[in-house]
C-alpha cells in the first residue's frame, strides 16, 4: 500500500475507500503529539474520559425524547481496562457512539477551532500539559502515549459498528468492524491504546487510579476500573459536587471540581457556590480561573457555563451569563426547567432569563467582595479578564455603574486604580475624571496632552485596550463626576492650581493680541488640513497637539477607520492646539512679524506633523515633512542658533 503517493481523489473514489488523510492542521498537531517528549503526558486520560463523559451526556439528552436509545448496552458508564500482555490500555463508554461519517469527521478531517493557535503556542511553550488542557486538544493527545490507536464505535440504536485506526501518521482508516468487535461493543465507543515503550506506566493500576482521582473524580458517570488482579471497582466519586452543602466541602474539593469541570490546570481565583431556593430552585458552582485561556477573544464569545436540569446535561453554553463574563466556568443545575427544553428554547425562556439576571448579579457581587477582601485574588482576575470585562461597560447599560466601580485602570498614579481611589485623590476644584486612550502604556505616558495635568498633579487614566476606545465613547460618569478625554474637545484646568512650574516654560506667555495673530497665521498656512487652531490648555512642554472636535475621540476614529467602518462625524479634521510659550511657536511669531512667509508656512506644517507623530501616526507626506525639516535645520545651523 503506497500511502504517500495516493492522492486524496483516487483515494476517496475507488482505490482505498477506507483510508483518509488527516486534515492538514490535525496532521501537524499529530506530529507534535507523536514526536515531542512532554513531561506530563497523563492528561491524555483526562481528555479521553471527558470525551466519554460528554458522549454519555449526549445520549442521556437524546434519550429524553427517544428512551429506546438506552435499551441496549447497559447503564451509562465509563470503563478502563489494562492488559499488560498486549501492552494496551482501553477506555470505553456506553454513550452516544459514532457512526462512520462521525468517525471520519470528528477524529480526522474537522480541526477544532483554535488548533492553529495551539500549534503555534506549543512550539514555544514549556507547559505543554497546561496548553493541552486549555485547548482541549482532546482525543489527539492520546498519541503522546500510544503509537497505534483503534476506536470501535456503535452509534446508539444503530446496527453497524465501525472501526477507526491510525498510527498517528498522515492518514487514518475507517472500516466495518469484524463480528467479534461488533458483538463486544453494544453501544458507545471503545478506544484501545497500544502504548509506546516509554508509556508503560499506564499499565499500572495505582497510576490509573491516581490520575482519575486527580482529574476526573467529579465526572458524573461511574468510572469502573477492570483490574486484572482484582474485582472491578468504581474509582471516582461520580457525585454532583455542586449539590452538596457548602459546609461539607473544603478548598481542596473545589480545586478538584474546578479541574474536572473545566479542564483547567491553574487554581480558581474565585469560587462561587450556592443554591437558589424560592421562585426557582437551582444550584450554582462557578469559578473564575486565574489565567486566561487562548480562545478568550474568539469572535463567537461563547460562554462556559454548563446547564444541567436535574443532573442531566443540557448544553455547554446556555448563555446564563452575559458575554463579558464569559471567562467564568462551571455549572448551573436547575430543578425546575423542563428536561425536554431544547437548546433553542433556552433563548426565550422566561425562567432562564430570570436565572440569568440573578446569577449575573451574584457573580458581580462575588467579584465585589473579592475586590474588597482579597485584593490579590481580584487583581489576578482583573489582569486575566479585565479586557473582556470592560466589554460590559459598553454593552450592559443597566449594570454600568456597578461595572465601572469594579474596573481597574492604569493611570499616571498607579497600575490598577479604581475610580473610587481616583475620585478620593481629586485635586482642589477638580470636577472631572480625565483619561487618555491610545496604544501602548509607554507611549501614552509620553503623550504631550498629559503635560498640563501633570503640572497640576491631576491623575489621568491611561487606557490602552482596543475596547477602551468604544466604551469611553459613551457619556459616562462615576459618582456624579463625568469622564473626560484629554484628546477631545476643550479642557479647562484653570481652576486647579499649578503645583510645579513647568520645567521648560522657555518664554513668557504672549499677549492675547499676539496669540490671536499666531493662531490666524497658522490657520492660514494650514488651510483645511485642520478644522481649527487654538491656544492650548493641555500643553506645558511640547509645542503642539491634535484633539478631536466634534465626533468620535481620535483613538476611536482611528480604530473604526482601520476596520473600514468610518464613524459618523468621521472625516472631521482634528483641531491643532498650540503651546503659546513654546520656543517653536514663538519662532513662528517672529517669522510672522518679520513677514518671512516661507518660514511661517514651514513651521506651521512642521507643528502639525509633529503633533501627528506624537499621536503615533506618520505625517501625511513624509517626503515633504523631511524636506521641510531639513530646510529649517540648515537655516538654523547657518545662523548658528
* Closest to Mg ion by CB, 55 or 355: 55
Contact stretch for Mg ion (CB under 5 A) within 20-28, 130-138, 287-295, 613-621: 130-138
Which DSSP category does 485 fall into? E
Quick check: helix, strand or coil at residue 271?
A: strand
Count of residues that bind ligand ADP according to CB under 6 A: 17
Which of the choices ligand ADP, Mg ion, none does residue 107 contact, using the CB cut-off of 5 to 8 A by kind? ligand ADP
Tell which one of 33, 41, 42, 51 touches ligand ADP (CB under 6 A).
51
Query: Phi and psi for 363 in degrees, rounded to 5?
Result: -65, -45
Cell, residue 639: 545662523
Q: Does 132 bind ligand ADP (CB under 6 A)?
A: no
Closest CA to 411 of 400, 402, 424, 393: 424
* Closest to Mg ion by CB, 52 or 403: 52
Beta-bridged to residue 329, according to DSSP, are 287, 304
The secondary structure of 130-167 as a DSSP string is HHHHHHT-GGGGGGGTEEEEEEEEE-TT-S--EEEEE-
Which of the choices Mg ion, ligand ADP, none does residue 185 contact, using the CB cut-off of 5 to 8 A by kind? none
Beta-bridged to residue 461, according to DSSP, are 411, 435
Question: What distance in Å separates the CA atoms of residue 472 and residue 478, rounded to the nearest whole number?
Answer: 12
Cell, residue 483: 469622564
Q: Does 610 bind ligand ADP (CB under 6 A)?
A: no
Which of the choices Mg ion, ligand ADP, none does residue 253 contact, using the CB cut-off of 5 to 8 A by kind? none
Q: Does 360 bind Mg ion (CB under 5 A)?
A: no
Q: How far is the CB of 53 from Mg ion (least distance, A)?
A: 9
Interior angle at CA 65, CA 64 and CA 71, nearest 5: 70
Beta-bridged to residue 544, according to DSSP, are 578
Q: How far is the CB of 34 from ligand ADP (least distance, A)?
A: 15
Q: Does 94 bind ligand ADP (CB under 6 A)?
A: no
Question: What distance in Å separates the CA atoms of residue 591 and residue 628, rounded to the nearest whole number?
Answer: 15
Contact stretch for ligand ADP (CB under 6 A) within 27-35, 47-55, 230-238, 550-558: 47-55
Q: Does 96 bind ligand ADP (CB under 6 A)?
A: yes
132, 607, 608 from 526: Cα distances, Å = 57, 10, 8
Q: How far is the CB of 109 from ligand ADP (least distance, A)?
A: 11
Q: Are residues 114 and 82 in contact, defined by beta-carbon separation less than 8 angstroms?
A: no
Which of the choices Mg ion, ligand ADP, none does residue 52 contact, using the CB cut-off of 5 to 8 A by kind? ligand ADP
Q: How far is the CB of 54 from ligand ADP (least distance, A)?
A: 6
Which DSSP category does 13 fall into? I
Quick check: helix, strand or coil at residue 428?
A: coil
Measured from each CB, the residue nearest to ligand ADP is: 138
Q: How far is the CB of 182 from ligand ADP (least distance, A)?
A: 17
Closest CA to 273 of 230, 331, 216, 221: 331
Q: Does 262 bind Mg ion (CB under 5 A)?
A: no
Contact stretch for ligand ADP (CB under 6 A) within 27-35, 49-57, 205-213, 453-461: 49-57
Tell which one of 61, 118, 139, 282 touches ligand ADP (CB under 6 A).
139
Tell which one of 73, 138, 168, 293 touches Mg ion (CB under 5 A).
138
Contact stretch for Mg ion (CB under 5 A) within 50-58, 159-167, 549-557, 625-633: 50-58
Which of the choices ligand ADP, Mg ion, none does residue 322 contact, using the CB cut-off of 5 to 8 A by kind? none
Q: How far is the CB of 137 from Mg ion (least distance, A)?
A: 8
Which of the choices Mg ion, ligand ADP, none does residue 149 contact, using the CB cut-off of 5 to 8 A by kind? none
In the chain, % helix, strand, coil (3-state, to 5) comes to: 45, 15, 40
Cell, residue 425: 485623590
Tell which one of 41, 51, 189, 447 touches Mg ion (CB under 5 A).
51
Of residues 258 through 277, those in contact with ligand ADP by CB under 6 A are: none
Tell which one of 73, 87, 108, 138 touches ligand ADP (CB under 6 A).
138
Which of the choices Mg ion, ligand ADP, none does residue 112 contact, using the CB cut-off of 5 to 8 A by kind? ligand ADP
Tell which one of 42, 57, 93, 459 touches ligand ADP (CB under 6 A).
93
Question: What distance in Å separates the CA atoms of residue 492 and residue 458, rounded to the nearest whole number?
Answer: 12
Contact stretch for ligand ADP (CB under 6 A) within 46-54, 79-87, 160-168, 360-368: 46-54
Maximal C-alpha separation, the chain: 104
Q: How far is the CB of 382 from ligand ADP (least distance, A)?
A: 28
Q: Does 136 bind ligand ADP (CB under 6 A)?
A: yes
Quick check: helix, strand or coil at residue 170?
A: coil
Query: E strands of 84-220, at which residues?
Result: 88-93, 146-154, 162-166, 171-176, 188-195
Residue with cell 506530563: 40
End-to-end CA distance of the chain: 84
Q: Does 451 bind ligand ADP (CB under 6 A)?
A: no
Radius of gyration of the chain (CA): 32
Residue with cell 479647562: 492
Count of residues that bind Mg ion according to CB under 5 A: 2
Contact stretch for Mg ion (CB under 5 A) within 44-52, 369-377, 616-624, 630-638: 44-52
Exposure string of 100-115, with b = 16+ CB inside 10 Å and e = fewer, is bebbbeebbeebbebb
**The 460-463 sheet, strands edge to edge:** 460-463, 433-437, 481-485, 477-478
Of residues 157 through 216, those in contact with ligand ADP by CB under 6 A are: 189
Q: Are residues 44 and 53 in contact, defined by beta-carbon separation less than 8 angstroms?
A: no
* Closest to ligand ADP by CB, 47 or 610: 47
State the residues that interact with ligand ADP by CB under 6 A.
Answer: 47, 51-52, 54-55, 93, 95-98, 106-107, 112, 136, 138-139, 189
State the residues that interact with Mg ion by CB under 5 A.
Answer: 51, 138
Amino acid at each position: 500500500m503506497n500511502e504517500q503517493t495516493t492522492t486524496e481523489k483516487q483515494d476517496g473514489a475507488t482505490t482505498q475507500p477506507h483510508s483518509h488523510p488527516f486534515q492538514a492542521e490535525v496532521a501537524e498537531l499529530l506530529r507534535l503529539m507523536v514526536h515531542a517528549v512532554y513531561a506530563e503526558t497523563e492528561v491524555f486520560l483526562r481528555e479521553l474520559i471527558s470525551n466519554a463523559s460528554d458522549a454519555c451526556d449526549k445520549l442521556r439528552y437524546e434519550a429524553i425524547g427517544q428512551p429506546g436509545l438506552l435499551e441496549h448496552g447497559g447503564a451509562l458508564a465509563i470503563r478502563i481496562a489494562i492488559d499488560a500482555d498486549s501492552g494496551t490500555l482501553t477506555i470505553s463508554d456506553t454513550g452516544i457512539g459514532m457512526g462512520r461519517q462521525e468517525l471520519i469527521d470528528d477524529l480526522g478531517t474537522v480541526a477544532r477551532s483554535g488548533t492553529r493557535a495551539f500549534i503555534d503556542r506549543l512550539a514555544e511553550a514549556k507547559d505543554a500539559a497546561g496548553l493541552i488542557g486549555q485547548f482541549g486538544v482532546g482525543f489527539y493527545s492520546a498519541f503522546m502515549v500510544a503509537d497505534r490507536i483503534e476506536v470501535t464505535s456503535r452509534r446508539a440504536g444503530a446496527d453497524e459498528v465501525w472501526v477507526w485506526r491510525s498510527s498517528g501518521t498522515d492518514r487514518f482508516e475507517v472500516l466495518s468492524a469484524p463480528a467479534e468487535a461488533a458483538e463486544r461493543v453494544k453501544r458507545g465507543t471503545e478506544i484501545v491504546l497500544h502504548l509506546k515503550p516509554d508509556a508503560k506506566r499506564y499499565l499500572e493500576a495505582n497510576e490509573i487510579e491516581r490520575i482519575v482521582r486527580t482529574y476526573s473524580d467529579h465526572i458524573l458517570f461511574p468510572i469502573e476500573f477492570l483490574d486484572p488482579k482484582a474485582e472491578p471497582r468504581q474509582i471516582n466519586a461520580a457525585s454532583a459536587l455542586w449539590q452538596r452543602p457548602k459546609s461539607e466541602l473544603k478548598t481542596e474539593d473545589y480545586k478538584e471540581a474546578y479541574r474536572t469541570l473545566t479542564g483547567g490546570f491553574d487554581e480558581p481565583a474565585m469560587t462561587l457556590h450556592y443554591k437558589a431556593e424560592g421562585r426557582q430552585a437551582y444550584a450554582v458552582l462557578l469559578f473564575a480561573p486565574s489565567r486566561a485561556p487562548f480562545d478568550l477573544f474568539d469572535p463567537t464569545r461563547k460562554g462556559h457555563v454548563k446547564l444541567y436540569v436535574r443532573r442531566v446535561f443540557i448544553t455547554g453554553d446556555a448563555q446564563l451569563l452575559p458575554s463579558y463574563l464569559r471567562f467564568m466556568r462551571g455549572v448551573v443545575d436547575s430543578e425546575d426547567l423542563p428536561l425536554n427544553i431544547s437548546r433553542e428554547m433556552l433563548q426565550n425562556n422566561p425562567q432562564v432569563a430570570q436565572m440569568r439576571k440573578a446569577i449575573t448579579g451574584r457573580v458581580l457581587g462575588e467579584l465585589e467582595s473579592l475586590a474588597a477582601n482579597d485584593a490579590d485574588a481580584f487583581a489576578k482576575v482583573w489582569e486575566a479578564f479585565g479586557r473582556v470585562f470592560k466589554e460590559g461597560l459598553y454593552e450592559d447599560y443597566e449594570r454600568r455603574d456597578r461595572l465601572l466601580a469594579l474596573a481597574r485602570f492604569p493611570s499616571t498614579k498607579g497600575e490598577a486604580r479604581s475610580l473610587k481611589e481616583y475620585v478620593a485623590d481629586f485635586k482642589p476644584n477638580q470636577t472631572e475624571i480625565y483619561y487618555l486612550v491610545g496604544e501602548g502604556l509607554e507611549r501614552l505616558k509620553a503623550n504631550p496632552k498629559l503635560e498640563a495635568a501633570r503640572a497640576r498633579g491631576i491623575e489621568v487614566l491611561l487606557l490602552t485596550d482596543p475596547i477602551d476606545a468604544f466604551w469611553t465613547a459613551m457619556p459616562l460618569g462615576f459618582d456624579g463626576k463625568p469622564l473626560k478625554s484629554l484628546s477631545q474637545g476643550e479642557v479647562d484646568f484653570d481652576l486647579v492650581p499649578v503645583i510645579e512650574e513647568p520645567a521648560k516654560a522657555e518664554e513668557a506667555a504672549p499677549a492675547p493680541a499676539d496669540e490671536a495673530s499666531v493662531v490666524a497665521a497658522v490657520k492660514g498656512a494650514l488651510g483645511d488640513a485642520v478644522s481649527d487652531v487654538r491656544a492650548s490648555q493641555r500643553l506645558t512642554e511640547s509645542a503642539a497637539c491634535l484633539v478631536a472636535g466634534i465626533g468620535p475621540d481620535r483613538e476611536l476614529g482611528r480604530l473604526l477607520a482601520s476596520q473600514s467602518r468610518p464613524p459618523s462625524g468621521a472625516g472631521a479634521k482634528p483641531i491643532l492646539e498650540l503651546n503659546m510659550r513654546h520656543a517653536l511657536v514663538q519662532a513662528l511669531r517672529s517669522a510672522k512679524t518679520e513677514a518671512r512667509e516661507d518660514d511661517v508656512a514651514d513651521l506651521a506644517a512642521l507643528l502639525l506633523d509633529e503633533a501627528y507623530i506624537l499621536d503615533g501616526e506618520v505625517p501625511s507626506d513624509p517626503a515633504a515633512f523631511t524636506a521641510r525639516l531639513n530646510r529649517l535645520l540648515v537655516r538654523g545651523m547657518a545662523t548658528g542658533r
